[in-house]
């Protein structure tokens, strides 16, 4: 029996994972969400910004991390539009260019935001760190036109946003190292306020920057999205995903505990 | 000469950029910004290089009939489709957006989703409390995992009416304290390594970035 458990066919584990994902999504179970301090700090900072402020959002994640970061982007952008805070989108990743454009258009349609006045999307430019440094001098030295090819001089929003001095907050939505680039090149050099929303895999790397206040806030993966949705009282994909995440995490915890119990029994039998 | 010119350029730009970072003089700031503008122009060439390398490596796979060489044709088909639609029609054209939304996004997301299955299987097989260190790591991982899912708090609050939301509080404590300390140590180590490596490159001691055989 123990031997069987130790050498369980991995396809059984795969089926259990599939069930842990499928069942809660069909049952639509929901759990109460506790908001963590780093997410609340991000919310509080944006909430305190006066109407007409500017938030720059870096869509620095590809389609593989879309499930975690898209709900977060949606919640924060909606919050900004609700507060009449202007949003400038951009990306340092080629594959995220279309993704950021679609997201801004979708949320703008829901919130009734107008392109050019309430938001603008600059798209992608290669050379990550040079892009970040270049925008410190003049945004139009890096992005001479927006994603649709319209010159920045023809976009009303960009008339009074020339560099980081007019940007009240940068929010980096990242699945890689881009948050660290923002911190190194824009926070340290230009004293730019930065918040981040990152995938669960890299969230632990961000805590030193949170403690030094180089990050004013941090949203951890899908949980961060759910927390932000709770704060703006608009449950959506993040909140829905929490039931799936809960069951999947419980399953993995259960498997680890079971694996260790069988390991100890086998070791005792061996002795 | 092939090696001396890059070494001289690297030394000159390395020293100039390092000095301009510390000088608030207008000329220094102008020079810094000017060089950043140059690098912005150079940046796109890296993309050209990346495409050339991709084509070269997959073409070599096809020519040599390496394992699964047939898939390299898919790389070319995918690349050609995106380029032929993206360049003439633009990235906002319906066809380009359709390909992105209904081909690239599902494929990319599927690849990443598979990780969940392998992680679950690997966690069952390999995550064992064999030593004290492994036990500590295991305990921390389980607490963070439970704290990361709202069901953790729900179970705790229902079963144990003491210290509400303890799983998420414990998770936050682990992230704020042991994790932060360990991560800071890693950052300091990496930073010192980067500084020393940069000095070696600027001074021409480290030359591996030039490629080729030592002494060429």
Structural domain ending residue among the three candidates B14, B33, B66: B66
Q: What pLDDT, on the 0 to 100 scale, is given for residue B215?
A: 46
B105 shares its domain with B136: no
A54 and A166 Cβ atoms separated by less than 8 Å: yes
A179 and A172 Cβ atoms separated by less than 8 Å: yes
On chain B, the residues whose CB falls within 8 A of the CB of A123 are 91
CA distance A252 to chain B (A): 6
Structural domain ending residue among the three candidates B126, B141, B171: B126
Residue A265 tokens read as 């029994």
In a domain, B187, yes or no: yes
Sign of CA dihedral B194, B200, B206, B207: positive
B33 pLDDT more than 70: yes
Distance from the first to the final alpha carbon of chain A: 18
Q: What pLDDT, on the 0 to 100 scale, is given for residue B190?
A: 95
A251 pLDDT more than 90: yes
Question: Residue B172: which domain range?
Answer: 129-211
Q: What pLDDT, on the 0 to 100 scale, is given for residue B213?
A: 53
> Which residue from A60, A23, A51, A7 is spatially nearest to A177, judged by alpha carbons?
A60
Residue A64 tokens read as 């593989």
Q: Return the residue matching tokens 């938030």.
A: A55
B118 shares its domain with B185: no
On chain A, the residues whose CB falls within 8 A of the CB of B198 are none
A133 close to B (CB below 8 A): yes
pLDDT (tens digit per residue) in A30-70? 889 999 999 999 999 999 999 999 999 999 999 999 999 99
Cα B128 to Cα B204: distance, rounded to the nearest angstrom: 47
- How many Å separate Cα A155 from the centre of its chain? 27
Instruction: Report the residue of B149, B181, B185, B188 to disrupt the A interface, i.e. the one with the largest count of A CBs within 10 Å.
Output: B149
Which residues 164-193 in chain A show a CB within 8 A of chain B?
Answer: none
pLDDT (tens digit per residue) in A150-170? 999 999 999 999 999 999 999
In a domain, B119, yes or no: yes
Closest by Cβ to A259, choosing from B91, B113, B128 = B128
Cα A244 to Cα A18: distance, rounded to the nearest angstrom: 10
What number is the average pLDDT over the span A224-244?
95
Cα B2 to Cα A264: distance, rounded to the nearest angstrom: 63
B133 shares its domain with B62: no
Q: What pLDDT, on the 0 to 100 scale, is given for residue B216?
A: 47
Instruction: Report the residue of B148, B170, B174, B186 to disrupt the A interface, i.e. the one with the largest count of A CBs within 10 Å.
Output: B148
pLDDT (tens digit per residue) in B71-128? 999 999 999 999 999 889 988 899 999 999 999 999 999 998 998 899 999 988 888 8
SS3 string of chain A?
CHHHHHCCCHHHHHHHHHHHHHHHHHHCCCCCCCCCHHHHHHHHHHHHCCCCCEEEEEEECCHHHHHHHHHHHHHHHHHHHHCCCEEEEEECCHHHHHHHHHHHHHHHHHHCCCECCCEEEEEECCCHHHHHHHHHHCHHHHCCECCCCCEHHHCHHHHCCCCHHHCCEEEEEECCCHHHHHHHHHHHHHCCCEEEEECCCCHHHHHHHHHCCCCCEEEEHHHHHHHHHHHCCCCCHHHHHHHHHHHHHHHHHHHHHHHHHHHHHHHHHHC
A216 pLDDT more than 90: yes
A6 pLDDT more than 80: no
Question: Which pLDDT band, with edges at 50, 70 and 90, does A1 fall under?
Answer: confident
In a domain, B216, yes or no: no
Q: Could A207 and B46 be called an inter-chain contact, meaning their C-beta atoms sit closer than 8 Å?
A: no
Q: Does domain A37-239 have CATH number 3.40.50.620?
A: yes
In a domain, B17, yes or no: yes
A71 close to B (CB below 8 A): no
Q: What pLDDT, on the 0 to 100 scale, is given for residue B212?
A: 62
Interface A-B: count of C-beta contacts within 8 A: 172
Closest by Cβ to B120, choosing from A99, A220, A252 = A252
CA distance A260 to chain B (A): 6
Phi, psi angles (nearest 5°) of residue A86: -80, 145
B111 shares its domain with B133: no
Pairing relationship of beta strands A86-91 and A54-60 according to DSSP bridges? parallel
Structural domain ending residue among the three candidates B66, B86, B106: B66
Percent of chain A past pLDDT 70, that is, above it, reads 100
> Which residue from A240, A210, A242, A209 is spatially nearest to A223, judged by alpha carbons?
A242
Q: Return the residue matching tokens 């940068």.
A: A170
Nearest residue in A to B176, CA atom: A207
Distance from the first to the final alpha carbon of chain B: 10
Closest by Cβ to B150, choosing from A33, A97, A259 = A33
Non-local CB neighbours of B9 within 8 Å, separated by 6+ positions? none
A77 and A57 Cβ atoms separated by less than 8 Å: yes
Residue B70 tokens read as 């047939």
Cα A198 to Cα A196: distance, rounded to the nearest angstrom: 6
Q: Could A252 and B180 be called an inter-chain contact, meaning their C-beta atoms sit closer than 8 Å?
A: no
pLDDT (tens digit per residue) in A173-212? 999 999 999 999 999 989 999 999 999 999 999 999 999 9
On chain B, the residues whose CB falls within 8 A of the CB of A37 are 172
Non-local CB neighbours of A49 within 8 Å, separated by 6+ positions? A55, A83, A85, A168, A169
Closest by Cβ to A263, choosing from B128, B150, B183 = B128
| Lowest mean per-residue pLDDT among A76-85, A136-145, A190-199, B31-40 | B31-40
On chain B, the residues whose CB falls within 8 A of the CB of A147 are 91-92
CA distance A81 to chain B (A): 23
Task: Supply the mean pLDDT for chain A.
Answer: 93
Measured from the Cβ of residue A99, the count of other Cβ atoms closer than 10 Å reads 24
Cα B137 to Cα B127: distance, rounded to the nearest angstrom: 9
B117 shares its domain with B142: no
Cα B107 to Cα B75: distance, rounded to the nearest angstrom: 13
What are the residue ranges of helices labelled H in chain B? 4-22, 26-64, 71-89, 94-99, 105-126, 132-147, 150-159, 166-174, 180-202
Q: What pLDDT, on the 0 to 100 scale, is given for residue A126?
A: 86
CA distance A144 to chain B (A): 12
Nearest residue in A to B186, CA atom: A205
CA distance B154 to chain A (A): 7
Residue B151 DSSP class:
H
Cα B89 to Cα A207: distance, rounded to the nearest angstrom: 43
Residue A166 tokens read as 């007019």
In chain B, the number of structural domains is: 3
Q: Could B187 and A134 be called an inter-chain contact, meaning their C-beta atoms sit closer than 8 Å?
A: no
Most confident by average pLDDT, A126-135, B1-10, B67-76: B67-76
In a domain, B180, yes or no: yes
């Amino acid at each position: 029996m123990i031997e069987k458990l130790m050498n369980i066919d991995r396809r059984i584990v795969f089926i259990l994972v599939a069930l842990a994902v499928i069942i809660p999504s069909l049952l639509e179970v929901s759990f109460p969400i506790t908001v963590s301090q780093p997410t609340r700090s991000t919310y509080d900072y944006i909430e305190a910004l006066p109407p007409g402020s500017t938030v720059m959002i870096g869509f620095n994640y590809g389609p593989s991390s879309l499930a975690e970061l898209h709900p977060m982007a949606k919640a924060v952008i909606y919050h900004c539009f609700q507060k009449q805070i202007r949003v400038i989108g951009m990306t340092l990743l080629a594959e995220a260019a279309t993704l950021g454009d679609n997201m801004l258009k979708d949320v703008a349609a829901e919130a009734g935001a107008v392109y050019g006045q309430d938001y603008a999307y600059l798209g992608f430019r290669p050379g990550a760190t040079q892009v970040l440094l270049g925008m410190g001098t003049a945004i139009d030295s890096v992005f001479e036109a927006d994603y649709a090819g319209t010159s920045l001089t023809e976009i009303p929003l960009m008339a009074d946003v020339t560099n980081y001095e007019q940007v009240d907050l940068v929010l980096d939505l990242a699945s890689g190292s881009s948050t660290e680039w923002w911190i190194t090149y824009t926070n340290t050099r230009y004293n730019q306020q930065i918040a981040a929303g990152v995938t669960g895999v890299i969230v632990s790397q961000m805590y030193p920057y949170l403690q030094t206040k180089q990050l004013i806030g941090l949203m951890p993966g899908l949980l961060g999205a759910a927390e932000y949705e709770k704060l703006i009282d608009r449950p959506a994909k993040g909140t829905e995903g929490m039931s799936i995440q809960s069951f999947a995490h419980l399953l993995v915890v259960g498997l680890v505990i079971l694996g260790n119990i069988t390991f100890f029994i086998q070791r005792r039998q061996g002795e | 000469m092939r090696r001396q010119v890059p070494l001289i350029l690297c030394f000159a730009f390395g020293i100039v950029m390092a000095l301009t970072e510390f000088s608030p003089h207008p000329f220094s700031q102008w020079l810094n910004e000017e060089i950043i503008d140059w690098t912005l122009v150079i940046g796109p060439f890296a993309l050209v290089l990346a495409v050339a390398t991709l084509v070269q490596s997959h073409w070599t796979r096809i020519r040599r009939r390496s394992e699964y060489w047939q898939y390299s044709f898919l790389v070319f088909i995918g690349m050609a489709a995106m380029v032929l639609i993206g360049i003439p029609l633009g990235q906002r054209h319906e066809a380009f957006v359709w390909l992105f939304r209904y081909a690239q996004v599902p494929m990319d997301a599927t690849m990443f989703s598979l990780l969940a299955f392998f992680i679950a299987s690997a966690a069952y097989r390999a995550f064992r409390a064999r030593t004290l260190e492994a036990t500590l790591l295991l305990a921390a991982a389980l607490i963070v995992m439970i704290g990361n899912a709202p069901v953790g708090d729900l179970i705790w609050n229902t079963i144990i009416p003491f210290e509400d939301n303890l799983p998420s509080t414990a998770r936050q404590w682990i992230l704020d304290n042991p994790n932060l300390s360990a991560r800071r140590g890693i950052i300091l180590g990496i930073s010192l390594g980067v500084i020393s490596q940069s000095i070696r490159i600027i001074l021409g001691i480290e030359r591996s970035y030039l490629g080729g055989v030592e002494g060429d």
